[in-house]
Amino acid sequence: MTVLAAGLALLGSLFFALGAALQQFEAASAAPATLRRLVRRPRWLLGGLAVAAGTALHVVALKYGPLTVVQPMGVASLLFALPCAAALRRRRPQPGELAAAAVIAIGLIGLVLVVPEHTGEPRLGTGGAVALLAGAATAALVLWAAALQAPPARRAGLLAMAAGVLYGATATLTRVLVDGDWEPWFLLAVPLPALIALALLQRAYAVGHFGVAFAALQVADPLTAVAFGALLLGEPLPTGAASTLTALAAGALTAAGTVALARTTPMSPISLPAGR
Exposed, middle or buried, 143 (CB in 10 Å: 0-12/13-18/19+)?
buried
Residue 268 is predicted with a pLDDT of 59
Q: Residue 231 pLDDT > 60, yes or no?
A: yes
The kind and range of the H/E element at 64 are helix 42-64
Mean pLDDT along residues 83-97: 87
Q: pTM for this one? A: 0.85
Rounded Cα gap, residues 107 and 245, in angstroms: 12
Q: pLDDT of 140-159, one tens digit each?
A: 999 999 999 999 989 999 99
**Chain segment 181-195, per-residue pLDDT in tens:** 778 888 888 899 999
- For residue 67, pLDDT beyond 70: no
Kindly report which listed range (132-136, 164-168, 189-193, 222-226) carries the lowest average pLDDT score. 222-226
Instruction: Tell me the per-residue pLDDT of 108-117, one tens digit each, with 9 for 90 and over.
Output: 888 878 877 7
Domain boundaries, the chain: 1-118+238-269, 120-235
- Give the 3-state DSSP-derived string for 39-56, with helices as H, strands as E and coil as C: CCCHHHHHHHHHHHHHHH
- Within 13 A of 184's CA, how many CA atoms are on the CB side? 0
Contact residues for 129 (Cβ-Cβ < 8 A; gap 6+): 173, 182, 183, 186, 189
d(CA 29, CA 18): 17
Q: Provide the pLDDT for residue 118.
A: 65
Cα–Cα distance for residue pair 161/20, rounded to 1 Å: 15
Q: Is the pLDDT of residue 202 over 90?
A: yes
Query: Is residue 264's pLDDT more than 80?
Result: no
